[in-house]
Amino acid sequence: MSSIPQIPLPRVLVEYTATADASRGYTFVGEDGRTEVRHSFIELSDKVAQYGAAMLALGLRTGENVAMIIPDGEQFVLTFLGAMHVGLVPVPLCPPATLGKLNNYLGTTQSLVERSEAAALICTSDVLRIIGSIRTPHLRRIVAVDDLPLSSTRAPLATLTADSPAFIQFTSGSTSRPKGVVLSHGNLAANAHCIMTLGLNTTPEDVGCTWLPFYHDMGLIGFVLAPLTTQTPVAFMQPLAFLKRPVDWLRMVTRHKGTIGFGPNFAYGLATSRIKDRDLEGLDLSRWRIAGCGAEPIQLSTLDRFADRFEQVGFRPEFFMPCFGMAESTLAVSFHALDERPRAQRLRMDKLSRHHVAEQADAIGDFETAEFVSCGRPFPEHDIAIRAEDGSFVPENIVGEVVLRGPSVMKGYYKDPQATAQSLRDGWLHTGDKGYLSNGELYICGRIKDMIIVGGRNYYPTDMEWSAGEVAGVRRGNVVAFGTGRFGEQEKVVIAAELKESDADRQLIESEIRSRVLDQVGVRVDEVVLLDPGAIPKTTSGKLQRARTRELFEQGRLVQNARQDSRLDLARNLVASQWGLLKHRVRNTLTGDPS
């Protein structure tokens, strides 16, 4: 019998509350970074059942999909878990980050709600004023979370099995259009066990502290769902608060004696650069034993700078845990070993690009190199392998496509058999990531679709992006490198970079980017496009969209992409939203639906 548990999460939450410690639960930190609202796991179980009853009172039926756009952490968690409690299938979507690009946001949201076949859309009152014009064939209800008919009534727990759908999470869309990953309760239970027990080795003393958004799998599964299985307390702060004041994350870790926190590579870089010496007073990171890093390429130099910066307040390099994950495998695929410093291998690019061989550069030579960080080993009952282009499995230290299998892997994309067949083949999930295994550990080199081919050699765009990002005046983490056939059959190299200041010396910065990339990567850049902040398109989780950037460049529209919607566009959208909402309510009144 499998040692991986298959118990549906709502059942775990209900049954655990019978013996739960009332001092353990979830804490939600306000925008000011200090105000807090706390729910013990016992209280959480009660409120979740009440939220579930309120959703059933809207006429929703077990098994239906429910889209959610709820920026507020407390409301999101209660609504999301309430839907799961009664057998509804939540579909978390990102809230609008700004009103400046409302047209793009509405178009994307309309598409995701329609493709998910959501019967209802639950959001906050502020979001409702913006998206009231959304209409899809399956959407019957649009309701603000504050208007849910809450009462003391507790809904009974739905009959759920390991094969029942738990929720639908859309992929980030960094290399293609977002696809709806259907995760079962069995997938979720298996991955939660991998994360909390096998990967993090959690104890009753552990406390999570996070700012990660709830519509992204690292924040939702890693800090909302998985901790319920071990009753690990978590403190949540709002993502925008972290971006504005990174020190608030570390203050929360200090205040709550946090031991576990995760973030992308950029988060550690942002904290290092933005937190001043005066902000270190009062910080204590000595209890922080796991600082996970994933969701985007990991740069060892970024982690080293963070460790050096905060060593004086108790942080140690061995706290770092590089990891690899993806939505199609629920979340976690591999974790670096506990209590070990991150490991990296510096490879010869000539061997890598021409022969797909991961040969370490043990000595300085007349060749370019690139550094790749170990993301650790697969979990028990899960397998990682590397496949060549012809589909054959390759040995260690040979680069190919990373493929996975195990109980965490999805059954497929929501009503997208073609995409499912492309990803799930011969019992393996094809990730679309290039990587290799060395001593059983996984090293990720980059996305296959993002590879740049020059003179018959494969180059990884991240190497060029990191080099360009070191140039003074360039916004680090806001650089995209890609190849394009715009100039003819020979693929050319283009680098698009956002500037810190729009009035910077563009000629000097362009020259420095070309020089650095040539020196450090060995590639001659054909064109440099310098942009104002916000011009490079990103996914809802903040990942750079290389394919979309290349598309805009080839259409000659990349420079204009930063343009904000005009006030007239904004007014038109808001009027359309309110008019659409009014028509929706009139229709419901005529059909006897009180919503």
Residues 301 and 441 in one domain: yes
Residues 431 and 345 in one domain: yes
Residues 130 and 34 in one domain: yes
Mean pLDDT in residue range 172-181: 73
What does the alpha-carbon distance between residue 239 and residue 250 come to, in Å, rounded to a whole number? 13
Mean pLDDT in residue range 484-509: 79
Residue 119 has pLDDT above 50, yes or no: yes
Mean pLDDT in residue range 461-486: 84
Tell me, yes or no, whether 87 lies in a domain. yes
Look at the alpha carbons of 61, 66, 72, 78 in this order and tell me if their dihedral is positive or negative.
positive
Tell me, yes or no, whether 411 lies in a domain. yes
Residue 383 has pLDDT above 80, yes or no: yes
Q: What is the CATH number of the domain that holds 272?
A: 3.40.50.12780
Report CA-CA distances (Å) from 86 to 8, 48, 52, 72, 157.
Answer: 12, 9, 6, 22, 6
Tell me, yes or no, whether 189 lies in a domain. no
What pLDDT band is residue 537 in, cutting at 50, 70 and 90? confident
User: Higher pLDDT residue, 178 or 394?
Assistant: 394
Mean pLDDT in residue range 77-103: 86
For 579-593, how does the pLDDT look when each residue is reduced to its tens digit (9 = 90+)?
A: 454 444 444 544 445
Residues 101 and 86 in one domain: yes
pLDDT at 364: 64
pLDDT at 490: 62
Residue 172 has pLDDT above 50, yes or no: yes
**Among residues 252, 279, 276, 278, which one has the least CA distance to residue 263?**
252
What does the alpha-carbon distance between residue 296 and residue 188 come to, in Å, rounded to a whole number? 22
Mean pLDDT in residue range 407-420: 95
pLDDT at 134: 84
Burial annotation 450-462 (CB, 10 A radius, 16+ → b, else e): bbbebeeebbbbb
User: Which of 449, 469, 491 is the endpoint of a domain?
Assistant: 449
pLDDT at 584: 47
Cβ burial of 542 (10 Å; 0-12, 13-18, 19+) is buried
Mean pLDDT in residue range 207-235: 94
Residues 222 and 337 in one domain: no
Q: What is the torsion angle, in degrees rounded to the nearest 10, for the CA atoms of residue 425, residue 426, residue 427 and residue 430?
A: -40
* Structural domain count, the chain: 3
Task: Give first-to-last CA distance, the chain, whole Å.
Answer: 48
Q: How far, rounded to the nearest angstrom, does the alpha carbon of residue 508 sit from its chain's CA centroid?
A: 35
What does the alpha-carbon distance between residue 238 and residue 30 come to, in Å, rounded to a whole number? 7
Residues 262 and 386 in one domain: yes
pLDDT > 70: percent of the chain: 88
Tell me, yes or no, whether 197 lies in a domain. no
Contact 38, 25 (CB under 8 A): yes
Residues 6 and 18 in one domain: yes
What does the alpha-carbon distance between residue 185 and residue 127 come to, in Å, rounded to a whole number? 29
Residue 488 has pLDDT above 50, yes or no: no
Kindly report the pTM of this predicted structure: 0.84
Q: Are strands 120-123 and 65-69 parallel, antiparallel or unpaired?
A: parallel
Residues 333 and 468 in one domain: no
Residues 273 and 355 in one domain: yes
Q: What is the CATH number of the domain that holds 458?
A: 3.30.300.30
What does the alpha-carbon distance between residue 98 and residue 172 come to, in Å, rounded to a whole number? 18
Range of the domain at 26: 1-183+203-239+566-595
Helix (H, G, I), strand (E, B) or coil at 236: strand
pLDDT at 260: 98
Residue 270 has pLDDT above 80, yes or no: yes
For 335-354, how does the pLDDT look when each residue is reduced to its tens digit (9 = 90+)?
A: 999 999 999 999 888 888 78
pLDDT > 90: percent of the chain: 60
Mean pLDDT in residue range 49-55: 97
pLDDT at 561: 60
Tell me, yes or no, whether 13 lies in a domain. yes
Mean pLDDT in residue range 465-481: 87
Residues 456 and 445 in one domain: no
Tell me, yes or no, whether 330 lies in a domain. yes
Can you give the C-alpha Rg of the chain in angstroms? 24
User: Which of 391, 417, 449 is the endpoint of a domain?
Assistant: 449
pLDDT at 456: 66
For 183-202, how does the pLDDT look when each residue is reduced to its tens digit (9 = 90+)?
A: 999 999 999 999 999 999 99
pLDDT at 545: 80
Residue 287 has pLDDT above 80, yes or no: yes
Residue 471 has pLDDT above 50, yes or no: yes
Mean pLDDT in residue range 546-562: 79
pLDDT at 264: 92
For 501-510, how does the pLDDT look when each residue is reduced to its tens digit (9 = 90+)?
A: 877 888 899 9
Contact 265, 302 (CB under 8 A): yes
Tell me, yes or no, whether 270 lies in a domain. yes
Mean pLDDT in residue range 559-574: 53
Residue 487 has pLDDT above 50, yes or no: no
Residue 128 has pLDDT above 80, yes or no: yes
**What's the token pair of residue 341?**
């410093």
Mean pLDDT of the chain: 87
Residue 376 has pLDDT above 60, yes or no: yes
User: Which of 388, 416, 449 is the endpoint of a domain?
Assistant: 449
Residues 271 and 143 in one domain: no
Residue 572 has pLDDT above 60, yes or no: no
User: Higher pLDDT residue, 273 or 99?
Assistant: 273
pLDDT at 310: 98
Provide φ and ψ at 563, rounded to 5°.
-60, 130
What pLDDT band is residue 557 in, cutting at 50, 70 and 90? confident
Tell me, yes or no, whether 193 lies in a domain. no
Contact 429, 423 (CB under 8 A): yes
What pLDDT band is residue 532 in, cutting at 50, 70 and 90? confident
Residues 268 and 225 in one domain: no
pLDDT at 297: 84
Residue 533 has pLDDT above 50, yes or no: yes
pLDDT at 593: 54
* Lowest mean pLDDT segment, chosen from 25-39, 253-267, 360-374: 360-374
